[in-house]
Amino acid sequence: MFGLILLVLCVLRFGVLPHYDRQHNAVFVRGPYAASDRTRLLHNTEFVADLHADSLLWGRDLRKRHSKGQVDLPRLIDGGVDLQVFGVVTKVPRQSNYISNRDDTDSLPLLFIASWRSPATWFSPKARALAQAREMTRLAENFPLSLVLNRGDLSFEGIKGLLALEGMHALGGEVEALNEFYSAGFRMMGLAHHFDNEIAGSAHGVDKYGLTELGRSLIPRMEALGITIDLAHASTAAFEDTLGLATKPVVVSHGGVKGTCPGQRNLSDNQLRSIAKNGGVIGIGYWKGAVCDASVKGIVAAILYTVEVAGIDHVGLGSDFDGNIASPFDTTGLPMLTEALLTTGLSIEDISKVLGGNVRRVLSANLPE
């Protein structure tokens, strides 16, 4: 019996999981990617930040270069990335969609079993979140990677990583869990993911309500701790409620805009203006649901539209790499975006803001000293 169990675990770990990872985090065109020497020089001198990648979920050794997926640390180096925000996914409904999802199913137990994580993580979103945080901490201890915990950490040389919770359902409705997650290293939190929770409604939930009483009580607590609030996936009502309470800039870490790609979770012009008024940043994603045209051209079109409506100080990059999406390139292809932005008429100063300057400004305003 033990031998059979071991065989099944090996098949899951070395067969099923890599296949699923490769299929569901696909890249349309593999590198190397073309960009001029001038562009690469500019790109490598700028502060480049990506507001969202789900790479921790898959149990890969991110110290090694992989042929599957879209992000690992060697490829971040090649892509000239200074700051990668690592989203931590803890629950995804079966057959999740953009329109309406209940919270009573969970597609992740098999993934956590297949990646040989602790049995404590198999059925607990909270345990999954804390386990991924520990993995991130160990990664920072065993690779030239700095974990961003306070404002000064943004100034470290080399790659920096920031932990972001994708959906506050992982707190289990416990106020005290906020401090526990902060101690574990989380410095950004999305209110909701694919379904409504005890904190806020989701754009993909059943009821899509606004902030709950608990959610309203946690907004000032998050700001006081130095946790950046992420409105990606939030319902329209929760989006508005949060901006009515927020005293610090928020982010929409990954998504698109209705002006170039109509869709359930993409932002309206009024929402873009609300983020600008708040001083926050919208991270433009790279997948079809965010930009409709999943190409460098499509991503740039969404960036330019956001600049037109919200202003140059309020747009950034939010790939959603390794988030169960197909992307036009992996993270080594980022210089192609810089090259495309150079052809749009934006100044070098403006391109610098889009690549990461705006993200650094928001995080500097929010992170603890």
Three-state helix/strand/coil letters over 281-300:
EEEECCCHHHHCCCCHHHHH
DSSP string over 162-225: EEEEE-GGGGTT-TTHHHHHHHHTEEEEES-SSS--SSB-BTTSSS---B-HHHHHHHHHHHHH
Count of beta carbons in the 10 Å neighbourhood of residue 226: 18
Q: Structural domain of residue 176, as residue ranges?
A: 2-366
In terms of Cα–Cα distance, which of 159, 163, 175 is closest to 226? 163
CB 125 within 8 A of CB 151: no
Rounded to 5 degrees, what angle do the CA atoms 368, 237, 317 make? 50
The number of CA neighbours under 13 Å toward the Cβ of 346 is 25
User: Alpha-carbon distance 109 to 99, whole Å?
Assistant: 23
User: Alpha-carbon distance 259 to 296, whole Å?
Assistant: 17
Give the strand pairing for 159-166 and 145-147: parallel
Q: What are phi and psi of 275, to 5 degrees?
A: -65, -40
Judged on CB neighbours under 10 Å (0-12, 13-18, 19+), 153 is middle
User: Alpha-carbon distance 30 to 34, whole Å?
Assistant: 11
Dihedral sign for Cα 326, 331, 333, 336, please.
positive
Look up the CATH number of the domain holding residue 158.
3.20.20.140
Render each residue's pLDDT in the chain as its tens digit; 369 residues.
Answer: 667 667 677 777 878 788 788 888 999 988 899 999 999 999 999 999 999 999 999 999 999 999 999 999 999 999 999 999 999 999 999 988 899 999 999 999 999 998 989 999 999 999 999 999 999 999 999 889 999 999 999 999 999 999 999 999 999 999 999 999 999 999 999 999 999 999 999 999 999 999 999 999 999 999 999 999 999 999 999 999 999 999 999 999 999 999 999 988 899 999 999 999 999 999 999 999 999 999 999 999 999 999 999 999 999 999 999 999 999 999 999 999 999 999 999 999 999 999 999 999 999 999 998
pLDDT at 9: 72
Coil vs helix vs strand at 280? coil
User: Alpha-carbon distance 124 to 105, whole Å?
Assistant: 12
How many structural domains compose the chain?
1
Strands of 204-298, DSSP E:
228-230, 251-255, 281-284
User: Alpha-carbon distance 369 to 365, whole Å?
Assistant: 10
Per this entry, what is the length of the chain?
A: 369
Dihedral sign for Cα 126, 219, 149, 53, please.
positive
Q: Which amino acid belongs to residue 354?
A: V
Cβ neighbours of residue 345 closer than 8 Å, sequence gap 6 or more: none
Q: Which amino acid belongs to residue 136?
A: M
Task: Give the chain's end-to-end CA distance (angstroms, integer).
Answer: 54
CB 48 within 8 A of CB 351: no
What's the alpha-carbon Rg for the chain, to the nearest Å?
A: 19
pLDDT at 4: 66
